[in-house]
A and B are shown apart, each in its own frame.
Chain A
Amino acid sequence: MTVTAAPHPPVTSPPVRGSARRGVLRWLLPLGPALVLLVLFLAGPILWSVYIAFTNEALTGSASVDSRFVGLANFVKLFGDPNFLNSFLLTFVFVIGSAVIGQNTLGLVIALLQRGRGRVTRGVVNGVVIAAWVVPEVVAAACWFSFLAEEGTLNTVLGISQEWLYTAPMLAVILANIWRGTAFSMLVYSAALSEVPADLLESAAVDGAGPGRRLLHITLPLIRRSIMANLMLITLQTLASFGLIYALTGGGPGTASQTTPLYMYEQAFRYFEIGYGSAIALVLLVIGALFSLVYLRLIKVEEA
C-alpha cells in the first residue's frame, strides 16, 4: 500500500560539519522522538507481554501483590481451556466467513461489475459501500442492531419474525463485518483491475474466449499479487476485531459469538487475569506477525 509519489533518489544531503558524532546526531535527533515512542509504547509492551505471560500477574487477589514466574502454566491452561478453544474456532470461522470469503469475494465482484459503468453508477455504488466503511464500528453495530431486530428492517422486508442475534449470532456478526469491510477490498480490486490492459481482454474476446474464461485465465492471474496482499491485510484487520462484535452481541448468547479478542478482554479486563490475558494476547500477536511476514514477502518493496 503506497501513496504514490515520484521516486527521487537524493543526490546530495544537507551540509554536515564537524565530527562523526555529529553524523550520528544528524539522523538520531530527528528520529529520536519516534524511536522513543515506538520503544516505550509498542516494542516495550510487546516484550513485557512475553514476560508476564509466564507469570501469574493479576490485578486482584494475592497474585496482585506478589506475582511470580509460573513457567508455561498459562499456555498449558490455555490449550486445555475449552472456552479458549471455542473462541479460537469462532475467530477462524469469523475470519474465513467475513474476510476471506465475504469481503474479498464481494469486493472483487463489485469491482468487476463496475468496470465500464458510467460515472454516476460508480459514484452511487462507491458512495454507499464506502459509507459503511467510514462509519465508526460502534455506530455500525447500532445500525445492524436495528436492522436485525425482531421487528427490524430485515424481518420486515423478508416478512418473517426471527431473533437473528440470538438464533444466529455468528451469522449476524459475519454479515455485519462483510458490510463494514467490503469497501477496502473493493478499492484494492478497482485499483488492480484498472491496470489490466484492455487490449489483452479484447483480443481474447476476438479469439472467442467468453467472460468466464477471460476472468479465469487473464484477469485473475494478472491481479493475483493484489489478491494475496488483500487477503493478508483483511485477515489482519479481522483477526483482532473487537468493537463491532462486542457492541452487537457482547460475545453471546453465552459464548456463542465470543471470538478470541473478546475472550482476551473478558480474562484480562473483567477478571483482571493479566498473566493469562497476556498469554492469549501473545497467541494473537504471533498469528498476526506470521500473516504480516507473509504480507511483506508478497508485496514488492523497492530499494528502501
Chain B
Amino acid sequence: MTRPAARGAALLALAVITLAFLGPFLWVLIASFQPEATLAAQPTLSFSLDNFKAVLTWETIILPLINSVVISGATAVLTVLVAGLAAYPLSRYQLRYRRHFMLTLLFTTGLPVTAILVPVYAMFFRFNLYGSVPAMVLFLTASSLPFSIWMMKNFMDGVPVSLEEAAWVDGAGWLRSLTAVVGPLMAPGVAVVAIFVFVGQWGNFFAPFVLLDTPEKQPAAVTVYTFFSQYGQVAYGQLAAFSILYTAPAVVLYVAVNKYLAGSFSFAGSVKG
C-alpha cells in the first residue's frame, strides 16, 4: 500500500470507529429535545425543552442531585484530608514498613468493591448503620483511600523538602509544615484527587443502591435507575433529559482534570512508591 492510501485507510477506520462510538449517544441526545419521545428512534423537526421542564421537579431530580453533591462532596473532602495526612509521613519519613504498606494499598485498589459490599451491608445491618448516609460516606472514603494515598504521596514527593526546612528552623512541627507549606504548594494535586474521587462517587450506583433505605436519601445514580426501570419504555424523552442533566457535571469536571490525568496512564515509566 502506498503512503497516501495507508493514510486514507487509517482515517476511514477512525471515522467508522468514531461513528460507532457516537451511535449509542445519538437517540439520548435527540430524544431529550423531542416532546413525547419513545424508544423508537424517529426524530421529528420539533424542538422543545418540555422533557427538561418535566423532570426538573424537586423529587425527580433536584433532591437526588443535592444528595449526589452531598455524598460525593463529603467523600471527596474527607478522602483528601485523610489521604493528605497519611501521605505526609509516607513521603517525608524513612519508615521501616513503608514499602509494604504502599504495596498493600496498591494491591487493595485491585479488589472488587462490589464483593466487599456484601459484608459491609451485613455489618451495617448489625450495627444499625443501614440507611445512614454518614456511615456510607465513611465506607466510600475508605474505599477511595488506597488510590488517593498513592496519588497524594506522588504529588507530595514533588514538593522539595528544602522548602520546608525554613519552616522547621522557625520551630514549626509536621502539622504546620503540612498545612502552611506543603499543602498550598500541592494545591493542584489536591484538586485532582478531590475531583477524581468526586466523579467516581458521582457515578457510583451499587453502594447507595444497597446501603441506603429510603428514596429521599438516594443520589441521582439510583433515582435515574428507578426512573429508567419505571418510565424508560413510556417516557424515554424524559429519561434522556434526566440522564443529560445528571451526566453534565461529571463531564465538566473530567474535562477540568483531563490534562493532569493524562500522565497517569503510563506503565513504562514504572510506578514510583
Chain A residues near B (Cβ < 8 Å): 1-8, 10-15, 26-27, 30-31, 33-35, 37-38, 40-42, 44-46, 48-49, 52, 57, 59, 106, 109-110, 113-114, 117, 121, 124-125, 128-132, 134-147, 149-154, 156-157, 176, 179, 182, 184, 187-188, 190-192, 195, 211, 223, 225-226, 229-230, 232-233, 236, 239-243, 247, 261, 264-265, 268-269, 274, 277-278, 280-282, 284-285, 288-289, 291-293, 295-296, 299-304
Whether A117 pairs with B11 at a CB distance below 8 angstroms is yes
Pairs A–B under 8 Å by Cβ, sample size 20: A3-B155, A5-B157, A26-B89, A30-B85, A34-B149, A37-B82, A44-B123, A114-B14, A124-B18, A134-B251, A134-B254, A135-B250, A142-B228, A151-B39, A151-B41, A152-B41, A176-B24, A242-B114, A295-B110, A301-B106
0/1 string, B156-185, CB within 8 A of A gives 1: 011111001100100111110110000000
Q: Say yes or no: A236-B17 contact (C-beta < 8 A), given A137-B205, A143-B28, A243-B206.
A: no
B91 on the interface (CB 8 Å rule)? yes
Chain B residues near A (Cβ < 8 Å): 6, 10-11, 13-14, 17-18, 21-28, 31, 39-42, 81-83, 85-86, 88-95, 98-99, 102-103, 106-123, 125, 138-139, 141-143, 145-146, 149-151, 154-155, 157-161, 164-165, 168, 171-175, 177-178, 189, 192, 199, 202-203, 205-206, 210, 221, 224-225, 228-229, 232, 236, 239-240, 243, 246-247, 250-251, 254, 260-273
Report the separation of the CA atoms of residues A289 and B106 in the bound assembly, to the nearest whole angstrom. 11
Residues of B within 8 A of A240 (CB): 112-115
Whether B24 pairs with A143 at a CB distance below 8 angstroms is yes
Given contacts A4-B263, A117-B10, 6 further A-B contacts (CB under 8 A): A10-B161, A45-B120, A109-B17, A134-B247, A157-B23, A299-B271
Whether A292 pairs with B18 at a CB distance below 8 angstroms is no
CB distance from A6 to the nearest CB of B (A): 5
CB distance from A151 to the nearest CB of B (A): 4
Most buried by A among B6, B142, B251: B142
Residues of A within 8 A of B28 (CB): 139, 142-143, 146
CB distance from B64 to the nearest CB of A (A): 12
Nearest A-chain residue to B255, judged by Cβ: A134
Contact of B138 among A14, A37, A242, A289 (CB under 8 A): A37
Whether B92 pairs with A48 at a CB distance below 8 angstroms is no
Report the separation of the CA atoms of residues A288 and B113 in the bound assembly, to the nearest whole angstrom. 10
CB distance from A185 to the nearest CB of B (A): 10
Nearest B-chain residue to A147, judged by Cβ: B24
Residues of B within 8 A of A5 (CB): 154-155, 157-158, 272
Residues of B within 8 A of A191 (CB): 265-268
Residues of A within 8 A of B158 (CB): 5-6, 8
Residues of A within 8 A of B263 (CB): 2-4
Whether A2 pairs with B145 at a CB distance below 8 angstroms is no
Report the separation of the CA atoms of residues A44 and B122 in the bound assembly, to the nearest whole angstrom. 12
Report the separation of the CA atoms of residues A147 and B240 in the bound assembly, to the nearest whole angstrom. 12
CB distance from B72 to the nearest CB of A (A): 11
Whether A281 pairs with B107 at a CB distance below 8 angstroms is no
Residues of A within 8 A of B251 (CB): 131, 134-135
Report the separation of the CA atoms of residues A37 and B25 in the bound assembly, to the nearest whole angstrom. 39
Report the separation of the CA atoms of residues A28 and B54 in the bound assembly, to the nearest whole angstrom. 53
Residues of B within 8 A of A225 (CB): 267-268
Most buried by A among B26, B98, B267: B267
